[in-house]
């Protein structure tokens, strides 16, 4: 029953050790334990708000969000417990919203007939002109679930976020998706406390593909956590191999040239998250990073730590999210000049 920092430290340590833990203990027991930890933090938050201690109450609910996210990661997608834990996340989020913490449910106008629902969380430094990031949930989650996971990471950071659901934009044809995301960027650029020259995009899971397409389409994007064009590249390579039976015969120079086709058109720094639940394979991402380093393209690679359990691969989302938003903050700083070289080694977090 510590503060947010110790709660997240404990969650990260547990996820790092999960492979050995799950082999020795029934995973359902850990689901119950982390759900109970979340319940206890919620209760602490409720008691603190009754005392008028709003900041302590919010910290309790943020601790609960982290605990509930650990529980959700341990449950199969079709398990009834997953829906139950998701409801707990929604309730904790509603408590934080009702405490005037700054989270807003906003409507982003796309045209005369359509609008997009999103969550808006202003920077933790209202006195500064802040950068902003459009965050797109994975195909398996709603925008609300992504917000619940990210909120403990975002508190106190000098960055504003607009969180949207994958389903709300991905069901459109490609040009319409980019148009809707451009409307989100327009919305952020019009806010008085946002620096319109420092707006990035983050696509979680398969939404990394949407983030790449958007960054290629709208040159106002200043940083992108995306797939680097690798998803479309993998489909193209598979199609060529199936039609011509020659994919394995292409020389590495030709493969590298084709792999770089999309990323060369990207006008902003990129971070590619590979492996685990990502849309990008680790092997292809490493090849792309090497190609980008040789071509002096600002692309970095991050590989989350994962544990293999009976429920599948479980990613350490705590360190992953901290690394992603640390990278975004760094790239969206006003004084940071674009770097010419990607790091020699992928960042493993």
275-279 average pLDDT score: 79
pLDDT at 336 over 60: no
Q: Delimit the CATH 3.40.50.1820 region(s) of the chain.
A: 104-348
Indicate the fold that domain 4-98 takes in CATH. Methane Monooxygenase Hydroxylase; Chain G, domain 1 (1.20.58)
Which pLDDT score is estimated for 24?
A: 58
Q: Delimit the CATH 1.20.58 region(s) of the chain.
A: 4-98
Summarised one tens digit per residue, pLDDT across range 295-305 is: 899 999 999 99
Binned at pLDDT 50, 70 and 90, residue 341 comes out as: very low
More confident residue, 121 or 309: 121
Binned at pLDDT 50, 70 and 90, residue 289 comes out as: very high
Question: Taking a C-beta distance cutoff of 8 angstroms, is the pair 309, 340 a contact?
Answer: no
74-85 average pLDDT score: 82
Q: What is the 3-state secondary structure (H, E, C) of the chain?
A: CCCHHHHHHHHHHHHHCHHHHHHHCCHHHHHHHHHHHHHHHHHHHHHHHHCCCHHHHHHHHHHHHHHHHHHHHCCCCCCHHHHHHHHHHHHHHHHHHHCCCCCEEEEEECCCCCEEEEEEECCCCCCCCEEEEEEECCCCCCHHHHHHHHHHHHCCCCCEEEEECHHHHHCCCHHHHHHHHHHHHHHHHCCCCEEEEEEEEEECCCHHHHHHHHHHHCCCEEEEEECCCHHHHHHHHHHHHHHHCCHHHCCHHHHHHHHCCCHHHCCCCEEEECCCCCCCCHHHHHHHHHHHHHCCCCEEEEECCEEEECCEEEECHHHHHHHHHHHHHHHCCCCCCCCCCCCCCCEEC
Binned at pLDDT 50, 70 and 90, residue 292 comes out as: very high
Q: Count Cβ atoms within 10 A of the Cβ of residue 345 and give its class: 0-12 exposed, 13-18 middle, 19 or more buried.
A: exposed
Among 78-82, 243-247, 253-257, 323-327, top mean pLDDT goes to 323-327
Return d(Cα 184, Cα 237) in angstroms, integer.
33
Binned at pLDDT 50, 70 and 90, residue 80 comes out as: confident
pLDDT at 249 over 70: no
Binned at pLDDT 50, 70 and 90, residue 113 comes out as: low
- Write down the CATH number for the domain with range 104-348: 3.40.50.1820
Query: Is the Cα torsion angle 170, 150, 147, 69 positive or negative in sign?
Result: positive
Average pLDDT of the chain, as a whole number: 87
79-100 average pLDDT score: 89
pLDDT at 89 over 70: yes
256-267 average pLDDT score: 85
1-28 average pLDDT score: 85
More confident residue, 78 or 166: 166
* pTM for the full predicted model: 0.90
- What are phi and psi for residue 306, nearest 5 degrees? -130, 155
Q: Which range among 140-149, 257-266, 322-331 shows the weakest confidence by mean pLDDT?
A: 257-266
Which pLDDT score is estimated for 231?
A: 86
Binned at pLDDT 50, 70 and 90, residue 340 comes out as: very low
């Amino acid at each position: 029953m510590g503060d947010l920092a110790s709660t997240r430290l404990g969650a990260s340590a547990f996820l790092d050790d999960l492979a050995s833990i799950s082999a020795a203990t029934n995973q359902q027991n850990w689901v119950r334990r982390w759900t109970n930890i979340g319940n206890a933090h919620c209760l602490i938050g409720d008691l603190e708000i009754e005392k008028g201690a709003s900041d302590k109450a919010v910290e309790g609910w943020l601790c609960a969000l982290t605990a509930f996210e650990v529980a959700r990661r341990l449950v199969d997608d079709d398990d009834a417990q997953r829906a139950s834990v998701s409801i707990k996340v929604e309730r904790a989020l509603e408590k934080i919203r009702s405490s005037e913490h700054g989270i807003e449910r906003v409507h982003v106008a796309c045209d005369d007939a359509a609008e997009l629902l999103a969550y808006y969380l202003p920077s933790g430094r209202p006195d500064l002109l802040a950068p902003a990031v459009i965050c797109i949930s994975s195909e398996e989650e709603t925008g609300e679930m992504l917000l619940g996971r990210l909120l403990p990471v975002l508190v106190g950071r000098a960055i504003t976020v607009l969180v949207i659901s994958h389903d709300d934009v991905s069901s459109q044809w490609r040009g319409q998706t980019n148009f809707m995301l451009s409307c989100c960027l327009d919305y952020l650029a019009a806010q008085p406390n946002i620096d319109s020259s420092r707006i990035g995009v983050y696509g979680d899971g398969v939404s990394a593909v949407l983030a790449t397409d958007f960054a290629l389409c709208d040159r106002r994007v200043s940083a992108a956590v995306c797939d680097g064009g690798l998803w479309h590249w993998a489909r193209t390579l598979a199609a060529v191999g199936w039609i011509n039976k020659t994919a394995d015969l292409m020389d590495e120079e030709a493969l590298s040239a084709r792999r770089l086709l999309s990323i060369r058109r990207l006008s902003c720094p990129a971070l590619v998250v590979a492996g685990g639940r990502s849309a990008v394979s680790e092997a292809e991402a490493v090849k792309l990073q090497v190609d980008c380093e040789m071509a002096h393209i600002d692309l970095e690679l991050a590989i989350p730590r994962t544990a293999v359990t009976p429920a599948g691969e479980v990613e350490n989302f705590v360190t992953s999210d901290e690394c992603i938003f640390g990278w975004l903050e760094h790239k969206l700083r006003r004084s940071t000049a674009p770097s010419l070289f990607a790091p020699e080694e992928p960042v493993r977090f």
